[in-house]
Amino acid sequence: MPLVDPREVLPRAAAAGYAVPALNFHSLDMVPALLEVAEAERSPVILQASKGTIDFLGFEAIAAVVQAAARRCRVPVVLHLDHASEYGLILGALRHGFTSVMADGSSLPFEENVSLTAKVVQAAHAAGVAVEGELGYVPRAAEPGAEAGSGAPEVYDFTRPEQAEEFVARTGVDSLAVAVGTVHGLYRETPRLDLERLAAIRARVPVPLVLHGGSGVPAEMLQAAIARGVAKVNFATELKHAWTGGLRAALAGEETDPRKVLQPALRALQVEAAAKMRLCGSRGRV
């Protein structure tokens, strides 16, 4: 089917108590492999590309491959631009048929985040595209002081519920990414999510919530977050590691045909992606 709007799939997930997995892809071979899993698991799915992936592959190739693969699919597929803070990049996604964009003003002061996000919402909604905003700051695990759940004040900026309410009302975003203890990348310690904060945000914010930094969050913690209104969970690092690990093993052999060398990488990616769908409770929802 054609690409779908997240405003169709996320509220449905929030209402039914599951989350739609948002899977970052980094090369084009990953796209049909991920959609094959979504079909097999009967799960809605969000495929997302970061600026790095856009720089690597280009908008045209990404849009063409994802649209063609989604058309062959019987499950809803969203194409999302992940972590964009440049307005020009967002316009590029709108021009190339992405059905969702993230306006990431999370490292800006509050008022500037509101301005950037509201400006993106205006352009995106005019094009019929949904917008995810972020309030609070989810750091990368590699940043000093970013140990999961440590709340190191210099890098970790937890989302404040009353500010989240104001942010959503003033910007008109369709979903909100929140900082409640996760980080991007692998955890050095078991993360502790601030579930009370999440519930307080949920009570004030009418749109579906988004959790970044899904890799490595223990199942029960992730499910507790989903039960408190998280309807989209982002996964990148573990998928990347699965693909690379499979490729590394294949390269140890004598095979030189790229199509064959890639098979173990894609299979490992698929096993990881299927696990994420089950973790999110999105399996069997289509």
Q: Which residues are catalytic?
A: 82
How many angstroms separate the first and last alpha carbons of the chain? 13
Give the other-Cβ count within 10 Å of 1's Cβ. Answer: 11
- Phi, psi torsion values for 158, nearest 5 degrees: -65, 145
Question: Considering the complex, what minimum distance in angstroms separates the CB of residue 238 from ligand 13P?
Answer: 6
Residue numbers at the binding site for ligand 13P (CB under 6 A) = 24, 82-83, 184-185, 212-215, 234-237
Kindly give the pairing relationship between strand 20-24 and strand 45-49. parallel
- Distance from the Cα of residue 214 to its chain's centroid: 9
Give the other-Cβ count within 10 Å of 60's Cβ. Answer: 10
- Distance from the Cα of residue 135 to its chain's centroid: 15
Whose Cβ is closer to ligand 13P: residue 7's or residue 83's?
A: 83
Whose Cβ is closer to ligand 13P: residue 160's or residue 212's?
A: 212
Whose Cβ is closer to ligand 13P: residue 24's or residue 85's?
A: 24
- Phi, psi torsion values for 151, nearest 5 degrees: 65, 25
189 within 8 A of 182, measured Cβ to Cβ: no
Question: Considering the complex, what minimum distance in angstroms separates the CB of residue 213 from ligand 13P?
Answer: 4
Positive/negative CA dihedral, 168, 174, 179, 180: positive
Question: Considering the complex, what minimum distance in angstroms separates the CB of residue 53 from ligand 13P?
Answer: 11
Whose Cβ is closer to ligand 13P: residue 68's or residue 219's?
A: 219
228 within 8 A of 202, measured Cβ to Cβ: yes
Within 8 A by CB and 6+ apart from 17, the residues are 226, 227, 281
Positive/negative CA dihedral, 135, 141, 145, 151: positive
Whose Cβ is closer to ligand 13P: residue 133's or residue 214's?
A: 214
Question: Considering the complex, what minimum distance in angstroms separates the CB of residue 61 from ligand 13P?
Answer: 21
Question: Considering the complex, what minimum distance in angstroms separates the CB of residue 133 from ligand 13P?
Answer: 13
